[in-house]
Amino acid sequence: MSLKPTWALRPLILALSTTTLLMACGGGDSELNLPLPVEPVGVGAADTAPVPAATAFVDTGVTNSRSNPCNVTLATNAGARVLQGFLDLWTPTTLLVDAGVSLAAANGCPAVTASSWTGIPGDSSDGTVKNSAVHAGNINYVKTVTQNRSTAQALAAYLDDRRNKGYSVSDGMGPLTSLWRQGAQQTTTIVSVDPTKAVSPAVNDGGNNLGVGASANADLGLAVDFIGGLADGSTEPPKRFYKYARPWRWSPDVKVVPALESAKSSTPATDGGFPSGHTAEAWRNTLAMAYLVPQRYQELVSRAMEMGENRILSGMHSPLDVMGGRIHATAVVAYNLSSVAYYTNAVKSAAYNQAQAYLQSKTGSADFNALNTYAHTAKTSDSSSPDYDRFASDSSNRTTYLQRLTYGFSQINAAGQTSTVPKGAEVLLETRLPYLSADQRRVVLKSTAMDSGYPLGNDGEGWGRLNLFAAADGYGNFNGDVAVTMNASLGGFNALDSWRNNIAGKGLLSKLGSGHLRLTGANSYSGGTVLSAGTLGAASTTALGTGDVFVKGGTLECTAAGALAIGGAYSQSAGTLSLVMKSASQGVLAVQGNAVIKGGDLKISFSGYTPAVGTTLTVLTAGARSGQFNSVNVAGFSQVTPLYQGNTVKIRLDSI
């Protein structure tokens, strides 16, 4: 006899049938139940950048002087010592700050008699070339560029030579330039010239360089005074120590811009070429501006590099000269920023806040990040306008900056040596990476430093190897574990920042705090990623490196132009996975290991792509998949069906 279900049992049978149907949509009874993996642990310790044992410039910067007989040797003059790598290439007549300088005995130190150096290469009083290949390459570079420069390059070189440097380099502000010059009340009397024709006598700038200071300038007076203080640091001490001639004195094949012929010094014994004073002043000014307006940090230091190149194009300086100017100025600015005698934190904050408030007001920007957007939005396509942004291309800036760090010289000492970070150098990133501790900023400088062995790279402290452009983009490698805590309530880069370097290393990245950090590089770090709070943006297909990814809070936002590659396992116990899809295959997850989902949410939105109703999107693939999200939300669609099938997560778009 067959048994038939009674009416009382039919609701139970129907419920069981419905459950089976739902399980089929979710992957059926073959669903895996993998345990949630432990969090990745990286290498177990943070990287460090200990202060080198060498005498620190930030402790002795006051000795960068040519008027004290107690500060005339390499050991006693910070300005000469920070450029001691030049001694690998050149031995000056004397190892004293004495070119054209006689000093009476004072402060218990003996008198100094002026050197016999004439400033004319080849004279019996001249120094000695130690590395003929580098020296020849140095002068040959100037020959080549001055013999082949365009009229436009000659004009730029003339303007950078004759104009006051603070005014000249303020165009590194790009779309903010006119507003900055207006607020600072900067002026110049040098606008243009035919650089191919002689100008006699030489024309000097009758403008006011940095602008008008605090007492007479309510807009940017504090900022002007701040920059003026940071710009205090002469290159005369190392010039008079190293006694290396200008390139046009080394070779008649170096062609000085015709309009600058009348500006050539007639006293060669006091007119050394190394280091370049114009370049150093440009660096001092732009680093100060970058401190106040970190939204334009990389563009401003690129402008300082351009000043150096223009000094070479003018025929007035060589690559080694401008490299020396950069190194000297970087140390000087760090010294001034670190010296309470120059700046208390209150003074720095007042100048910074004034600059930000003025620019936000004048641009109609609601906050720091809105100003950041304005500062990188083209205002004009007219290249003759002061607001034209010559530095709009990050990739071009990066390539050019890297080339000008070394000017193509070969390494003359051992490559691959661990970089050291000068004492106090971390202050140079204080406003650019405000959410990192001083120790972390030191590690950033260490991880982005150029390789060892290049000319001028062995100063003992590490100034010659700093790459501030790369450092402004965060870490270059995770050789230790990195914990980033960003507090969005503090605003600015604390709320939103991007790291654009290609990050390598074996360390772990832990994202903490309420702020939003974007990773955009071709990253290969292998220690894993843990997201606890805030937003971590993955803007490239390899943004999260090759290790495991563990989301236990916050939002992991994928905006990659392709599938975001997870090299290890993907685990989520809470938080949100936010996928911004630009096509059916862009903005999704491709997990090489297992994907274990024990909670959290999935949110999907679209950018430049609108899928049709009825479309099924594969949003996650893995070696194996286990678990489901607590909720799934798809922007623009009122009903969707998540399909947890095998090693995938798919979403069917049912209705709008």
Residue 335 is part of which domain span? 57-385
Give the number of domains in the chain.
2
Spatial distance between the Cα atoms of 609 and 595, rounded to a whole number of angstroms: 26
Residue 347 lies inside a defined structural domain of this protein: yes
Spatial distance between the Cα atoms of 486 and 505, rounded to a whole number of angstroms: 22
Does 545 lie in the same domain as 577?
Answer: yes
Count Cα atoms within 13 angstroms, Cβ side, for 642: 19
Does 258 lie in the same domain as 131?
Answer: yes
Residue 406 lies inside a defined structural domain of this protein: no
Residue 157 lies inside a defined structural domain of this protein: yes
CB burial readout 382-410, b (16+ within 10 A) else e: eeeebbbbbbeebeebbebbeebbbbebe
Domain boundary among 385, 414, 433: 385
Does 483 lie in the same domain as 372?
Answer: no
Residue 391 lies inside a defined structural domain of this protein: no
Nearest residue to 388 via CA among 380, 397, 377, 399: 380
Residue 429 lies inside a defined structural domain of this protein: no
Cis peptide before 642 (omega within 30 of 0): no
Does 114 lie in the same domain as 85?
Answer: yes
Residue 220 lies inside a defined structural domain of this protein: yes
Instruction: Using 70 as the pLDDT threshold, list the residues of the chain that sit under it.
Output: 1-30, 341-342
Spatial distance between the Cα atoms of 72 and 66, rounded to a whole number of angstroms: 7
Residue 401 lies inside a defined structural domain of this protein: no
DSSP assignment, residue 414? -
367's CB contacts (< 8 A; 6+ apart) are 360, 491, 492
Spatial distance between the Cα atoms of 501 and 179, rounded to a whole number of angstroms: 31
258's CB contacts (< 8 A; 6+ apart) are 154, 195, 196, 197, 198
Does 102 lie in the same domain as 29?
Answer: no
Helix-helix angle 177-184:221-230, to 10 degrees? 90
Does 106 lie in the same domain as 4?
Answer: no
Helix/strand/coil percent split, the chain, to 5: 35, 15, 50
Cα–Cα distances (Å) from 288 to 192, 339, 358, 373, in that order, read: 27, 14, 17, 21
Does 85 lie in the same domain as 33?
Answer: no
**φ, ψ at 562 (rounded to 5°):** 155, -170
The first and second tokens of residue 145, run together, are: 């560029």
Q: What is the model's pLDDT at position 339?
A: 86
Nearest residue to 452 via CA among 139, 88, 128, 129: 88
Does 63 lie in the same domain as 32?
Answer: no
Spatial distance between the Cα atoms of 195 and 302, rounded to a whole number of angstroms: 24
Does 90 lie in the same domain as 22?
Answer: no
Spatial distance between the Cα atoms of 293 and 303, rounded to a whole number of angstroms: 14
Q: What is the model's pLDDT at position 30?
A: 64
Q: What is the model's pLDDT at position 342?
A: 67
The first and second tokens of residue 361, run together, are: 């007001």
Spatial distance between the Cα atoms of 611 and 606, rounded to a whole number of angstroms: 9
DSSP bridge partners of 511 = 484, 531
Complete DSSP assignment for 610-633: -PPTT-EEEEEE-SEEEE--SEEE
| CB-based contact 534:516 (threshold 8 Å) | yes
DSSP assignment, residue 504? B
Domain boundary among 325, 353, 385: 385
Per DSSP bridges, beta strands 529-531 and 509-512 are: parallel
Does 65 lie in the same domain as 39?
Answer: no
Does 38 lie in the same domain as 65?
Answer: no
Residue 414 lies inside a defined structural domain of this protein: no
The first and second tokens of residue 330, run together, are: 């970087």
Domain boundary among 322, 351, 385: 385
Complete DSSP assignment for 203-230: PPP-S-TT---GGG-TTTHHHHHHHHHH
DSSP bridge partners of 370 = none
Nearest residue to 356 via CA among 514, 164, 490, 487: 490
Q: What is the model's pLDDT at position 230?
A: 87
CATH code at 238? Answer: 1.20.144.10
Q: What is the model's pLDDT at position 22?
A: 32
533's CB contacts (< 8 A; 6+ apart) are 511, 512, 513, 514, 553, 554
Does 96 lie in the same domain as 127?
Answer: yes
Q: What is the model's pLDDT at position 345?
A: 85
